[in-house]
Structure formats: C-alpha cells, structure tokens
C-alpha cells in the first residue's frame, strides 16, 4: 500500500499487450466510481484484498494511486459526486446540488435525473423517465465526442440511474441502469434516441441475472476469522433485511425477496456489483468499445451495491467488508477481461468514489465519542415557532430538505419585511439548535467570497436558483438517519476522503508533469480529476471546469 503522498510504481510486462495507437492514447477510457467508498477501506482491508491481488492491489502497485483526494464542497451526495468527478466542476457550476432538491417554481422536489419529457426504453415504469437534462456542464465523455466529431462512443452503466446518466453526460450514446422491483432488467430512456434496447442488452436481460442471484445465499466469502477488521456479525449498529430479526449471515435471498421489493434486494448485496461487471463486459462487446483506430471510446461504470450495503449495515459491518472483498475480486476479473479483449496498453482506468460515509452515531456514543442523530423536522418546527413568536402567525417555512431552509418569500414580502434580515435571523437561530455547527444565508453565499473553510465548501455546493434561503451544517459525527446503518453528505474527512487511482495506459499517454507532481506530493480535489484525464487524452476540459491541476 502506498504511503501518504508517495506514488508506487511497478514493472509492467508489455509482452502480451496489443498494438498501441500511433498517438499513444488508449482506445478505451473507463471511469469507475465506487459508491460510498471511504479511502480508509484501502488500508483497513489491505491484507484481505491481497488474497486476490488482481483487484485493488494490482490497481495500486501497477498504477498511480493518490492517498489525499478530497471533495471540496458540501453536500457530498451521490448525484453531485458523480457529476463533479466527470465535469471537473462543483454543484455551483454543474447544477446538481443534491440527489433531489426543492423546486421553488413547482413547489415540489426535483430528482436530479428525472425528466418527464422522455419515456423509458425497455421499461414502461416511471424508473425509465430519466435523463441528464439538469446537468449544466459538459463531461469528459461529452468533450471526447466533440473532439472526435462524434466518432467516440460513450456509455454509462450503473445499478442507479443517476450513477449511469450523470457521468456519461448529455451527448452520450447511451446510459443503462437496473430497474429492479418486479423487473429484472437493464433499461434506458428515449433521451438517447432509441426506440428499443440494442440486441446485446435484450440478450443480457433474457439471461435473468437477478433471478439467478435470488436463488442463492449471501454468505461470507472467506472464513469468519478473516473479518476481524469489522464488528461482530450481529451488532446493534446495523439494520436487518425486512423479514429478519437479526442481521446475520447467511442471508437466504430467495426467502427475503418478496419482503424486500423483489429484485431491488440484489442491489443491497455484493452480487449487484458482480452483475454490473458482467453488464460492462456485454457493453464492451455489444458496442465494440475500444475497437476504433485513432478514436478513444469511454465506458463509465458506477458500482452502487457498496452504497446500499453501507447505508444499511454501516462502515464497520462484516456485510460491508465482505462486499468490498467481493468487489476486489470483481475488479480483478474485469481487469483480466480488459487485458485479454482490449490489451493492457490500449485502455486507461481511473477509479474514485462519489463520497465516503460517517460512522454510526450510536457506535460512536457507546465509545464516549462526540456524535448524534439529527432530526430536521424538529429544527423546522423550532424555526417556524421562532418566526411566529417574533412576527406573528403565518406559514413562514415552505420546505426544509438537504439541510436547506426555504422561506415563504411571498409571505415575507406581504409582511413588508427584509428577506436578508429574516435569513440572518433564521441562520442565528439554527446555530442555537443542538447538532448544528454553522449556518449560512442565501444572501451571503450569493454576494460575498467565503473566507472560512466550511463556508467556502458550502458556497461551492450552492446554486442561487436551486438552493435554500439558509443552509446549515451539522457538527462532526452528526447525521440525519436512523439509529442503525449510516449516511453521508457532510464536509468532514469521513465523507470527503476518497481514492483516486490511474491504471492501464498511463506510461504511454502524454501524462502532464504537473499531474505526477501533484499526485505524488500534494492534495487533490475531486474536481482535479476531470482536467487531469482531459489532459491525458489531449481533449478540452469540460465546459464547467474551473480548477486547474497546476493551480488552485
């Protein structure tokens, strides 16, 4: 394992690689996002990963690995994370400020990938009505297509729709996601110009991968003694599947499916990641990715099962550890496949994560550590009562979500009050509420340059049109979630610190010297990844990209 700030190098056997393109560029770029992967998993599970050294150990020791990559904005959610990785921008620029946000005009929540103007292809369900319509910046894939005059193929795949759609960008050839529920299928939407699924997707769906998985059990991959980095199998900090009293191995999936929304159950097991790898292989073969001379294709792969498992069982559970050990094997399998079908010097992988995860607050408090469970409804009631107490009866707050407080601006105007003053008062009151670290107003985030670290991160995640009147930040260790499992979203290290690994054709690419220097010696922001990859490929950086890897 690489030490802090040190780049590891390994001898690469080029005797079995295929012919490199004349310009030295790879024929296939693969952007891998592991949903909810904290950096410390590479350290905690290092010895167990080495049981199958072809996965994370091979990526690290034969590639370039940075040990100090962080998210530089708040909130650290899945939608913003995927968008930021592939655009090189923060939410203030690319517009994906949360997984869903309050739409002031519609007085309703807007999901980051929801598009009522498209229809599903391969599914008739609402789950098919998705697109990148809300993404306001180009992605690496979009820039590839612009540079190649549309010749590059760009495909996104993930169990989650947003994990497939946002990385691939607005001009992608396709994004595919797993429907689940009663449908054991991968599907897409009409955004991508299709009326029916390609034959290779239809053929994959016919195999019924999910149905096969749900006939099996989920047990630990290695003997119980290998999991001493995690808590005991049955501990109070993890949530059981519906239908079970205790969260203990083995999980008989066939008996749990009906109570856990049928095929959705597979998303919350490591086998969802295994299926994603198999679908990625099918995409490479079905679309003939990496087979065009002089052209770079792109495949965006997001592993979502790690997030579902992490939320339910927490970062210190055996379920989470087993999921990562199995993902290690899946990645090993995928790399071997790429070596055989594409050729080691003909592909380039970059791997990172969309966010980390907090420790379970109950576990922390049992160890006399500072943490807590936050209830935003109580804060909303508290703030509403404060406003009524001072200014009289009225519906003062119309929404509270994602730690954003939306005031009833029409009511404030009718009362002939200063919106800026009301925002300031609400921010002050919010800071007096248990669990709140700090709060910032729409006015100050819009018109002043933040000097304090947290304010700066909030400002990078703030959108004048989509964000609330007051945004508050919780104290370290505090989360809004149930008593079991965990979540993410903060600007603290446990949510911001993620891996960043380059692997494959990195030695023949025109890797900028500054990228070597920064990865080896300095910290990286998540928004540095897109410009580094763009420079590697000799393409323009995405349109919303403001960061430069050689300048901050």
- What count of Cα atoms within 13 Å lies in the side-chain half-sphere of residue 446? 13
Q: Which residues are catalytic?
A: 78
Can you tell me the distance from the alpha carbon of 60 to that of 382, in angstroms, rounded to the nearest whole number? 49
Q: Are 69 and 78 in contact (CB under 8 A)?
A: no
Closest to 154 (Cα-Cα) out of 137, 175, 136, 130: 175
Burial of residue 276 (CB within 10 Å: 0-12, 13-18, 19+) is buried
Omega before residue 75 within 30° of 0, cis: yes
What's the CA angle centered on 146, arms 296 and 69, to 5 degrees? 65
Can you tell me the distance from the alpha carbon of 335 to that of 94, in angstroms, rounded to the nearest whole number? 31
E-assigned strands of 425-521?
Answer: 436-441, 470-474, 478-479, 497-504
Q: Are 368 and 326 in contact (CB under 8 A)?
A: no
Can you tell me the distance from the alpha carbon of 254 to that of 402, in angstroms, rounded to the nearest whole number? 35
Helix or strand or coil: residue 169? coil
Q: Are 78 and 85 in contact (CB under 8 A)?
A: no
């Amino acid at each position: 394992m690489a030490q802090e700030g040190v780049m590891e190098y390994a001898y690469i056997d080029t005797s079995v690689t295929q012919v490199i393109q004349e310009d030295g560029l790879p024929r296939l770029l693969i952007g891998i996002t592991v949903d909810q992967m904290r950096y410390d998993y590479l350290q905690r599970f290092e010895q167990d990963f080495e049981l199958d050294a072809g996965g994370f150990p091979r990526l690290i020791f034969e590639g370039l690995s940075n040990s100090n990559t962080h998210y530089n904005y708040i909130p650290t959610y899945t939608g913003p994370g995927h968008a930021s990785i592939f655009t090189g921008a923060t939410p203030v620029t690319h517009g994906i400020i949360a997984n869903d946000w309050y739409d002031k005009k519609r007085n309703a929540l807007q999901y980051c990938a929801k598009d009522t103007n498209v229809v599903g292809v391969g599914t008739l369900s609402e789950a098919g009505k998705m697109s990148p319509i809300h993404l306001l910046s180009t992605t690496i894939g979009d820039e590839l297509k612009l540079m190649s005059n549309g010749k590059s193929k760009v495909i996104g795949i993930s169990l989650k729709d947003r994990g497939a759609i946002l990385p691939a960008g607005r001009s992608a050839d396709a994004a595919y996601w797993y429907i689940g529920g009663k449908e054991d299928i991968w599907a897409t939407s009409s955004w991508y110009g299709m009326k029916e699924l390609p034959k290779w997707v239809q053929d994959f769906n016919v195999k019924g991968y999910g149905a096969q998985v749900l006939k099996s059990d989920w047990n630990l991959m290695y003997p119980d003694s290998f999991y001493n980095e995690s808590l005991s199998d049955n501990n109070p900090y993890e949530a059981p599947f519906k239908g079970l009293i205790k969260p203990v191995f083995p999980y008989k999936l066939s008996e749990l499916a009906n109570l856990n929304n049928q095929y959705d159950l597979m998303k919350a097991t490591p086998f969802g990641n295994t299926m994603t790898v198999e679908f990625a292989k099918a995409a490479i073969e079905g679309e003939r990715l990496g087979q065009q001379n002089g052209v770079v294709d792109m495949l965006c792969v997001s592993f979502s099962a790690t997030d579902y498992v992490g939320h339910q069982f927490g970062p210190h559970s055996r379920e989470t550890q087993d999921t990562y050990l199995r993902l290690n094997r899946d990645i090993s399998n995928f790399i071997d496949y790429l070596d055989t079908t594409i050729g080691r010097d003909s592909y380039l992988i970059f791997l990172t994560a969309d966010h980390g995860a907090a420790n379970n607050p109950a576990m922390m408090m049992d160890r006399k550590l500072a943490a807590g469970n936050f209830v935003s409804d109580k804060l909303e009631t508290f703030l509403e009562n404060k406003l009524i107490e001072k200014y009289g009866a009225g519906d003062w707050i119309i929404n509270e979500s994602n730690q954003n407080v939306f005031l009833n601006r029409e009511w404030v105007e009718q009362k002939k009050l200063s919106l800026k003053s009301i925002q300031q008062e609400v921010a002050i009151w919010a800071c007096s509420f248990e669990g709140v670290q700090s709060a910032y107003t729409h006015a100050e985030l819009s018109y002043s340059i933040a000097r304090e670290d947290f304010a700066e991160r909030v400002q990078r995640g703030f959108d004048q049109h989509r964000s609330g009147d007051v945004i508050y930040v919780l104290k370290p260790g505090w989360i809004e979630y149930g008593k079991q499992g965990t979540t993410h979203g903060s600007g603290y290290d446990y949510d911001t610190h993620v891996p960043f690994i380059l692997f494959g054709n990195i030695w023949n690419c025109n890797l900028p010297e500054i990228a070597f220097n920064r990865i080896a010696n300095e910290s990286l922001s998540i928004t540095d990844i897109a410009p580094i990859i763009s420079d590697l490929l000799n393409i323009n950086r995405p349109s919303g990209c403001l960061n430069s890897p050689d300048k901050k």
